[in-house]
Amino acid sequence: MQDFLHTTLSKNEILEMSSLGLAHVGDAVFELMVRANLSKSGVRKVKELHKNTVSSVSASAQEAAASKILPSLTEEEHDVFLRGRNAKVNTLPKHASPETYHTATAFEALFGYLYLLGRYERLNELFGMIIE
């Protein structure tokens, strides 16, 4: 049986993906990490968990998270981040400036890239920097 949860791809397969494809995966990875962290924090009300999750994964929150980890990125990670930031998006949300949205997309692309490479320890390391 194929393991869909821990799908890893070769670096070439990942580099062939669009930045927005990477961001699509990274958005889910980051949200799952946020949800797991909030759930273990002792918050019991679903409404409160949802509210905290939404605020933690918003474009502005992801922009703030990106600023915390940018100095610690490797050259390879920084290249992926820049590729994600330069992705052509067709629509921008009303609640985020273009700069904020592009930074959030870059952040998500990085998380998608690391996840698809199976670099879970690095994802945990970066997430730790964000939540401290």
Spatial CB neighbours of 37, under 8 Å, sequence gap ≥ 6: 127, 131
Helix (H, G, I), strand (E, B) or coil at 26: helix
Spatial CB neighbours of 23, under 8 Å, sequence gap ≥ 6: 84, 87, 105, 106, 108, 109, 112
Q: Catalytic pick from 27, 63, 77, 108?
A: 27
Task: Tell me if 84 sits within 8 A of 109, measured CB to CB.
Answer: yes
Residue 79 designated active-site:
no
Q: Which residues are catalytic?
A: 27
